[in-house]
Chains A and B, each alone.
Chain A
Amino acid sequence: GAVVSQHPSRVICKSGTSVKIECRSLDFQATTMFWYRQFPKQSLMLMATSNEGSKATYEQGVEKDKFLINHASLTLSTLTVTSAHPEDSSFYICSASGGAGKLFFGSGTQLSVL
């Protein structure tokens, strides 16, 4: 089946630095990718919808200048957490639309900001 690769799986960074997370669709083209955040003991919350070649659509309450999303190709979307702070520590997960009602998830990235 279709595979979505998310990298890195775990990252620890200092407060104030930026972190980039990559999401790749390995065997299909994904015109749309989604980014979610999951806090401990909570559900996944949609942060933004990323469309190839256009600006991402952010959900209410998500700072677009803090969470930069780039979807430069049909197989790659990146999420950059800029000037990360401890409150940004969370589990981030992407998904990619494979068409025909199919949605595939990456394995997630655990971000810890010290």
Chain B
Amino acid sequence: AQSVTQLGSHVSVSEGALVLLRCNYSSSVPPYLFWYVQYPNQGLQLLLKYTSAATLVKGINGFEAEFKKSETSFHLTKPSAHMSDAAEYFCAVASEGGYQKVTFGTGTKLQVIP
């Protein structure tokens, strides 16, 4: 069984401030981990993914995430928030054996304050 917990359904940051969105996972096998972004009335766009290679993963739009096995975490960060980063972010996990079957977290809505 696999699951994802996203801490904080809403996060507000000032423009230019650090963005930190938290994600903890549970998986009985080595996981694949993903962060997706969803803009209003749009589908999901993959930001980045971890697939057992480097633990620090760099994605699009300046985002990155670090896989920490000891903490079962995969937090998403961006050094400096931009207004266009306002969206909903989903952390997701898939098992290596069935990587296509993805379990999503409940999402974190990021608000960027000018």
Contacts and interface: CB of A to CB of B under 8 A. Distances in A.
Interface of A: 6, 9, 32, 34, 41-46, 49, 93, 95, 97, 101, 103, 105-108, 110
Interface stretch (B15-23, B36-44, B65-73): B36-44
Contacts of B90: 43-44
A105 B44 contact: yes
Contacts of B44: 44, 93, 95, 105
A108 B100 contact: no
A32 B98 CA distance: 12
7 contacts: A41-B9, A42-B107, A43-B105, A46-B102, A95-B102, A97-B100, A103-B100
B105 A103 contact: no
Contacts of B63: none
Contacts of B32: 101
Contacts, number: 47
A101 B103 CA distance: 15
A46 B90 CA distance: 14
How many chain B residues sit at the interface, stated as a range, is 20 to 34
A54 to B, nearest CB: 15
Contacts of B104: 43-45
B106 interface: yes
A41 B100 CA distance: 24
A93 B44 CA distance: 9
A108 B43 contact: yes
A65 B9 CA distance: 34
Given A34-B101, A49-B101, A101-B32, A6 B106 contact: no
Nearest to B94: A103
Contact of B106 (A9, A43, A95): A43
Contacts of A6: 43
A105 B42 CA distance: 10
Contacts of A9: 41
